[in-house]
Structure 1
Amino acid sequence: MIGKPDYTRLLILTVAVTGISMFHYFTPLHASYLHDIFQRLYYIPIILSALWFGLRGGLFCSVIVSIVYAPHILYQWGGDFSMETGKYLEILLFNIVGGLTGFLSQLEKERTAELKKTAEGLEISYSKLKAQSERIMAIEEQLRRAEKLSTMVELAAVLAHEVRNPLGSIRGTAEILRDDYPPDNPKHEFIDIQIRETERLNRVVSEFLQMVRPRPSDMQPCNVMEELETIATLLTNDARNHHVEIVLEPTGKQVPIMADSEKLRQAFLNIILNALQAAPAGSSVSIAVDASDSVSLSIRIHDSGPGIDLGNLDRLFVPFFTTKPDGTGLGLSITKKIIESHNGTIAIESLKGKGTTVIIRLPVSEKTKQ
């Protein structure tokens, strides 16, 4: 397919060859010096055609010029070979120049195309190498940060352990001092605050240590429904205090999974406690287990509380992030870590004013299917 620039070049060559030929045919023979000039002018379209269209272009134009110029020699100059040898040799030279120039032009174009292709390949390779280098640098930076973070976490764990040791003594001493004052004494109230804050600090330290130094998992066949029933029983008083009912929906099929029962129980406990605290008085917290999938087990825990702001959903599993005044911000972080250690997933769906649903999926082991 010929593009617009090629049509323009063909038009230029056609006009040039036609114009030079007309000068030849309409110029008197006695003006031989003009014919010599016109004869040399033929090289312009021949060379241009060779440069623009390569070997075939150069040969095609030189052949056309030869065909157009030959009648002028034969009929206007008499065609005597001995007299017009120079003109016949000029026709031969037209074709030699056209072929040679076209060959060199085509060779140069091919080399240019190869070099361009090589340059593009080098540019792509450079881009890939640069991207890989940036990724390596990013990974190295992450490793350095991870190493620093690991050191800081280990140091924090040591400090937390050292802090927890005297907390029991402080609490015991405070309880003894509280007994020395009647309940209506202001000092009794101050000591109560001290005891509550000591308990809260001990809870934060314990959860932090549990997160950074989890004990090894003891994977055994575990009946999720039985674990949830146990938790529902344990939380009966909490539910009554919040005026909330825990509804454990029955499931027809029970599939045991391979899990650390104690850790899994703690994960469920954290989620259900959060649901109880979020649910309004007179409502319920529903727990449903779906065992219809042969690959995974689904546990859905729903409360009809106020819901969670959309901006906070992505931050719920971040350590120490909490929306509760007395929360530690570690419960969901620990829960997520426990679920992921069981090769499971946890997700939270929430709409403002319409409650929150926590969805846990745990894989069903081949051992428990048998």
Structure 2
Amino acid sequence: CVHLLSETIAATQNNCRQKLQEHQVRLVVRMPKRAVYVRAEPDGLQRVLLNLVCNAAEAANPGGRIDLRVAAGRQGKVEIRVRDDGPGLSDEALERMFDPFFTTKQNGTGLGLTIARRLVESYGGTLSARNHAAGGAEFSIVLPTADQEAEHGPSAAPHTSAA
């Protein structure tokens, strides 16, 4: 299923608004100017993004921020980064966070990131995590981009006019 990534990002923003307010955290989204299409199931990708943004909201400092940055690269790939300004990840968390049932939360099941990684991999992508040099944790999703015209034909492409 090919869809416009910005639509999934917008839906994620709407669906995580309460969690962000609850933790007094701002979500700052940066998207490329050109439309980016991905071949992924929209609800599944939104589930992945919600998991990452909600985890980041819980980890961020009160009054802090989460950066969600989308960068369309070369070789038909797009990278989505979710970074918080919290304390970062422990060595154990970095090593085991994608293992089923591993959690650092009192009320967590330890399945959110496991499911997120499996979904991303089912779309031909990768999900990884690291501590950012400036502090906080950063998760990176890399997905193949899709040619919107190849899926829907030229008539479905956005119309543009030459200036």
TM-score, normalised to structure 1, is 0.39
2:109 corresponds to 1:363: no
CA 1:364 to 1:353, structure 2 compared with 1: closer, same or farther past 3 Å? closer
Shift of 1:290: 0.5
Q: Does the CA-based 8 Å contact 2:9-2:46 persist in structure 1?
A: yes
Aligned partners of 1:291, 1:257: CA distance in 2, in Å? Answer: 11
Shift of residue 368, structure 1, vs aligned partner: 2.8
Does residue 52 of structure 2 align to residue 246 of structure 1?
no
Post-superposition CA distance 1:176-234 (Å, at most 9, x none):
xxxxxxxxxxxxxxxxxxxxxxxxxxxxxxxxxxxxxxxxxxxx111112111111112
Higher RCO structure, 1 or 2 (CA under 8 Å, sep 6+)? 2
Give the corresponding residue for 2:93.
312
Structure 1 residues not aligned, in runs of 5+: 1-219
Q: What root-mean-square deviation, in Å, do the aligned CA atoms of Structure 1 and Structure 2 show?
A: 1.7
Which residue is 2:154 aligned to? none
Aligned to 1:336: 117
Matches within 5 A, 1:214-233: 220-233=1-14
- Give the conservation status (yes or no) of the 8 Å contact 1:224–1:256: yes
1:52-97 CA-partner distances (Å, limit 9, x unpaired): xxxxxxxxxxxxxxxxxxxxxxxxxxxxxxxxxxxxxxxxxxxxxx
Three-state SS of the structure 1 residue aligned to 2:118 is helix
Distance (Å, rounded) in 2 between the aligned partners of 1:344 and 1:360? 7
Residue 285 (structure 1) aligned to one of 29, 48, 66: 66
| 2:129 counterpart SS class | strand
Aligned positions, number: 150
Q: 1:146-165 alignment to 2 at 5 Å?
A: none
Structure 2 vs 1, CA of residues 369 and 298 (structure 1 numbering), >3 Å: closer, same or farther? Answer: farther
SS in 2 for 1:238: helix
Structure of higher CA gyration radius:
1
The answer to whether the Cα contact below 8 Å between 1:229 and 1:248 also exists between their aligned partners in 2 is: no
Measured in 1, the distance between the counterparts of 2:31 and 2:119 equals 25
Give distance in 2, aligned partners of 1:278 and 1:246.
13
> Which amino acid is 1:265 matched to?
Q
Q: Percent identity?
A: 31
5+ residue gaps, structure 2: 151-163
Q: Deviations over 1:236-257 (max 9, x none)?
A: 1211111001111132122211
Tell me by how many angstroms 1:261 deviates. Answer: 0.8
Return the offset for 1:353: 8.4
Per-residue CA distance 1:26-48 (angstroms, 9 max, x = gap)? xxxxxxxxxxxxxxxxxxxxxxx
The structure with the largest strand share of the pair is: 2
Equivalent residue letter for 2:16: L
Alpha-carbon distance between aligned partners in 1 of 2:140 and 2:18, rounded to the nearest angstrom: 25
User: Paired residue for 2:50?
Assistant: 269
Tell me the CA shift for residue 369 of structure 1.
Answer: 6.0
Q: Structure 2-normalised TM-score? A: 0.86
Superposed displacement of residue 350, structure 1: 1.1
Identify the residue that residue 209 of structure 1 maps to in structure 2. Answer: none
Deviation at 1:352, TM superposition (A): 9.0
Q: 2:131 aligns with which of 350, 354, 361?
A: 350
> Which protein is richer in helix relative to its size?
1
1:19-34 mapped onto 2 (5 Å cutoff): none
Tell me the secondary structure at the aligned position of residue 285 of structure 1: strand
Q: CA deviation at 1:325?
A: 0.9
Of 297, 304, 326 in structure 1, the residue corresponding to residue 78 of structure 2 is 297
Q: Separation in 2 of the partners of 1:263 and 1:234?
A: 14
